[in-house]
Structure 1
Amino acid sequence: MKKWILAIFLPILILLSGCSNDPVQDDLLNYVNKEMKEAGKLERAAVSAYEGVSGTNYQDDQTMYDVLNNDVIPNYNEFIKALDSVKIETDEVREIHEIYIEGADIQFKAFAIIKQALEEQDANLIQKANDMLADARKHIRNYQTKLDKLAKEHDVDIEK
């Protein structure tokens, strides 16, 4: 009788052991689908507002100042708070998330410097802020590259 039970349950045990969870995959899925949802909305609102008054969309200093003060900086501040509150279970995801936080912090400081530059009418501060924005973009591209690589390694599809 014991041999018969073992013969039935052994293949089931082998199948179950082959279905072990991948903690990084689980963490990535939670990170992308839950933890970063709200943060992503806040970042898009801030960046979209900034893009609406900078570069080819620049109108005048006062408009840019108002949008920075009323939309960009408050939304980006909330975005950073959301990034800081993201719950991460694995070192692999945490390491990548820290790159994003660093880039976001640089970008937030750049927005504050642009506001200061407009208040003081200081072109040197604008150049400093633009350099910081370029540095922030490097961090965010690095984050995206590493996130994509980790996702691929753990069989997670990330929609763009």
Structure 2
Amino acid sequence: MKRLLLFLSMVTFVFLVGCSTSDSKEESKESKNEETTTETKTDSKIETETKTDTSSNSETTAPSTDEEFAQAFSDYLDEMMLLAVEEERIIGLYDSVTGVNYTNDEVLYYTLLDEVIPGYRQFVADLEAIMPENKEIQALHEKYIEAANIQYNSFTLMISAIEQQSMDTMTEANQGLDEARRLLREWLYQVDEFSIKAGIPLE
């Protein structure tokens, strides 16, 4: 009888403990779920607020595409201006021995060989070192590089023409200079368009 009572007591205890443990777990789960839900809601709210703040800050601080283009174009013009002086000097040397300033082949030859070609070779290298990140400006710059390379090749052809006394080679060199000028005109027209787009006066 005592064993039965003890057994029943143990079963009841186990059950109670079981119920108690189960309830405790359930309560704990519910409590944890409530806490988790509360925390999740709080975290979600914080995330939402953070996203809202970030979005708000992003809208406030992030530069527009137009502003980015204007800055990129301004930077490009600054870089090109640094090279413009040297190119002007080299072309000035070439002009001093050609056209109305031409005196003889020897003067032209040595001016090209000793001054124009070495100077322009370095100019092209410096030009190719400029690498705009903006795709439109990159395409614009590639046009200038193409023109400069054609012009450089024309100068070297002139050396060959004088050495060989070949009118055909000289004609080819002059055609190259014409093509380079055409590309440079296109570059200038596009620079003018970009300056209007960026709101940056070229004057």
Q: Give me the TM-score of the superposition, normalised by structure 2.
A: 0.67
**How far did residue 44 of structure 1 move?**
1.0
User: Which residue of structure 2 aligns with residue 26 of structure 1?
Assistant: 71
User: Which residue of structure 2 aligns with residue 75 of structure 1?
Assistant: 119
Could you tell me which of 180, 183, 190 is aligned with 1:136? 180
**How far did residue 37 of structure 1 move?**
2.8
- Greater RCO, 1 or 2 (C-alpha within 8 Å, sep 6+): 1
Could you tell me which of 124, 140, 152 is aligned with 2:168? 124
User: Which residue of structure 2 aligns with residue 6 of structure 1?
Assistant: none
User: Which residue of structure 1 aligns with residue 90 of structure 2?
Assistant: 46
The answer to whether the 8 A contact 2:131-2:138 is kept is no
**How far did residue 46 of structure 1 move?**
1.4
The answer to whether the 8 A contact 2:161-2:169 is kept is yes
Identity of aligned residues (%): 28
**How far did residue 129 of structure 1 move?**
0.6
> Is there any run of 5+ residues in structure 1 with no aligned partner, and where?
1-12
Q: Does 1:109 align with 2:129?
A: no
Q: In structure 2, how many angstroms separate the alpha carbons of the residues matched to 1:71 and 1:96? A: 28
**How far did residue 20 of structure 1 move?**
3.1
Q: Which has the higher helix share?
A: 2
Q: Does 1:55 align with 2:62?
A: no
Q: Give me the TM-score of the superposition, normalised by structure 1.
A: 0.84
Q: In structure 2, how many angstroms separate the alpha carbons of the residues matched to 1:17 and 1:120? A: 67
The code of the aligned residue for 2:75 comes to: N
**How far did residue 19 of structure 1 move?**
8.4
The one-character-per-residue Cα deviations of 1:17-59 (angstroms, maximum 9, x if unpaired) are 49835111111111112x1133212211211111110011101
Q: In structure 1, how many angstroms separate the alpha carbons of the residues matched to 2:132 and 2:164? A: 41
Q: Does 1:37 align with 2:81?
A: yes
Q: Secondary structure at the match of 2:103?
A: coil
Question: Could you tell which deviates more after superposition, 122-131 or 36-45?
Answer: 36-45
Q: Secondary structure at the match of 1:59?
A: coil
Q: Secondary structure at the match of 1:139?
A: helix
> Is there any run of 5+ residues in structure 2 with no aligned partner, and where?
1-55
Paired residue total: 145
RMSD in angstroms over aligned alpha carbons?
1.8
